[in-house]
Structure 1
Amino acid sequence: MTGFTQEHLGWRPWLTPLTEEELTDAHREALVDQARAASPYFRLLARDPDVLHARTKTDVDIFYNADGGLPRAERELAATATSRHNGCVFCASVHARFASHYSKRPKDVQRLLDEGVGAPQDDFRWRTVVDTATALTATPAQFGAEHLAALRAAGLDDLAISDAIHAAAFFNWANRLMLSLGEPVDE
């Protein structure tokens, strides 16, 4: 298995997911996006369609809502930093690709993957988003007034700060779920 990477990885569940043929209309509705039916992770979560639906709607709103707030690149950066800190190689690869794509800064994203969340960042705003995500990921009590002050000094308004917190918090939970249900594999 490869270490932290921006390459596409597979994921192998330790429990048996539903097959695509076993998915009912309720399961497919819970997936929100039908392309997710190809993923063993989402087919495993489909065993509880109500929870999957709520989880996926939350994910979509945090990362795809373009009505103000934090730019998509920085939401993805927060998810990447969280995943890197938690050791979730699969999620880090997915969100690192998105962060690289939206920011046009693949070398900076790769440095985060290679060197960890403490890797130098030449942009104060990026450093602040990474530090915020890491503090929230380690334990929410590590996130404090100094993080809010840094986010504000980096130019984030209330909605952008909320987006940074939501992206980190959601992926802190998602990483732990994914890490306890299976493992990344080279495709």
Structure 2
Amino acid sequence: MSDSTATGEQVVRHDFDVPNVFTQAQLGWEAWLEPLPIDELTERHYDGLVDKGRANSPYFRLLVRDPDILGARTRTDNDIFYNEKGGLPRAQRELSAAAASRTNGCLFCASVHSRFASQKSKRPDDVQRLLDAGTSAPQSDPQWRATIDASVALTKTPGEFGAEHVRQLREAGLDDLAIADVIHGAAFFNWANRLMLSLGEPTPPATPAG
């Protein structure tokens, strides 16, 4: 069902039990405002989506109402996570984002990035410990510990991140490019999670067929 706001926008209210546990399962997401219908997407909208497959996501169809902003956001996102010409391995970039999402409570993004961190690192138990016990849970890998600590500091408030976090990352063996990747991953998702949290809510994992 939906209600009208003072500006005439339709606020959509969903009838499902919102997940309340961090998980690596594949969650869905529904917006509180109407996403742009697929049949109304123009070439300009698809340019903003960058990847046409994102038209299947209600989140991106909501953001594509401003295609220029979404295009800049998506290209930044892609460069942070997929440009592996140097710096941090993909698994730790995903770990950085997962730590940010675990800190600010975005269950949907935590599920996405923890799942990628597990797949890329082949260390699902270490990732699950982060979700279950929180960001302060023990991690035996000094690089993972330093990545999580730096990401949490940036997420709580950027002013908490400082020279001691850079020193911890460097002592764990990360070079300047890798340290920059930790910062970019956490900083981007600190912002992106807060945007997503304000626009909708996660849906439960799909029930397996059969």
4+ residue stretches of structure 1 with deviation over 2 A? Answer: none
Instruction: Name the CA distance, whole Å, in 2 between partners of 1:132 and 1:13.
Output: 31
Identity %: 67
Instruction: Name the CA distance, whole Å, in 1 between partners of 2:174 and 2:119.
Output: 21
**Higher RCO (CA-CA < 8 Å; seq separation 6+):** 1
Q: What's the Cα RMSD here? A: 0.6
Instruction: Name the CA distance, whole Å, in 2 between partners of 1:39 and 1:99.
Output: 21
2:46 maps to amino acid: R
Q: What is the aligned counterpart of 2:160 among 134, 142, 150? A: 142
**Counterpart of 1:115?**
133
State the Cα deviation string for residues 85-143 of structure 1 (Å, max 9, x = none).
Answer: 00000000000010000000001001101111111111111000000000000011111
Instruction: Name the CA distance, whole Å, in 1 between partners of 2:39 and 2:79.
Output: 28
Query: Structure 2: which 5+ runs fail to align?
Result: 1-17
Aligned residues: 187
Structure with bigger helix share is 1
TM-score (norm 2): 0.88
1:58-97 to 2 correspondences below 5 Å = 58-97=76-115
Q: What is the aligned counterpart of 2:180 among 162, 165, 182? A: 162
Shift of 1:167: 0.2
Q: Highest CA radius of gyration, 1 or 2?
A: 2
Q: Secondary structure at the match of 1:12?
A: strand
Matched, 1:102 2:127: no
Q: Secondary structure at the match of 1:36?
A: helix
State the Cα deviation string for residues 11-53 of structure 1 (Å, max 9, x = none).
Answer: 0100000011111101111111111000000000000000000
Shift of 1:76: 0.1
1:53 maps to amino acid: G
TM-score (norm 1): 0.99
**Counterpart of 2:15?**
none
